[in-house]
Amino acid sequence: MMKRLKVNDKIPDFTLTDQHGNLFHLEKHLGKSNLVVYFYPKDDTPGCTAEACQFRDQYEEFRDVSAEVIGMSADTPASHLAFAKKHKLTFTLLSDTDNRVRKMFGVQSDLFGLLPGRVTYVVDRKGVIQYIFNSQLNARKHVSEALRVLRETEIKESATT
């Protein structure tokens, strides 16, 4: 049984390849912005496309709360690039082809073990998980939940500065 990350855990460090074939080093992004790291089952499936397009459509709202969106699945960089081009996705897609990072986070498969899990993590600038949303069936809700938490976190941060 794999250990699942929880709220207040530090996000594990990882390096993966993005849709352009570039290496994405998590450590280079910590301290610069909040992160929304979302794991999804597969490029170009109905639920995953709806979720990705909603992240795309609300991308400026994520930027307004100093957040970078990172989608992750086991698809190849070439598959991610085709998916990103087809749907005009404006954020980073990472290839976790061996599901190593998925396992580091403890993202489990759906109820029947047929599909990789759909889980979204909201991570602050320090790399600490502030919120986790896990719902295989409600792909669209991941975006609104992440934005809600980021806005609440921003309010808390501005109150303490």
Q: Among this protein's residues, is 48 annotated catalytic? A: yes
Q: Which tokens is 62 given?
A: 């994520």
Instruction: Round to whole Å and give the CA distance between 101 and 13.
Output: 9
Instruction: Round to whole Å and give the CA distance between 18 and 13.
Output: 16
Identity at 115, one-letter amino acid code: L
H helix runs in the chain, sequence order = 46-57, 59-64, 77-87, 100-105, 141-160
Sort 141 into a burial class: Cβ within 10 Å, 0-12 / 13-18 / 19+. middle
Q: Which of 5, 16, 48, 81 is catalytic?
A: 48
Catalytic residues: 48
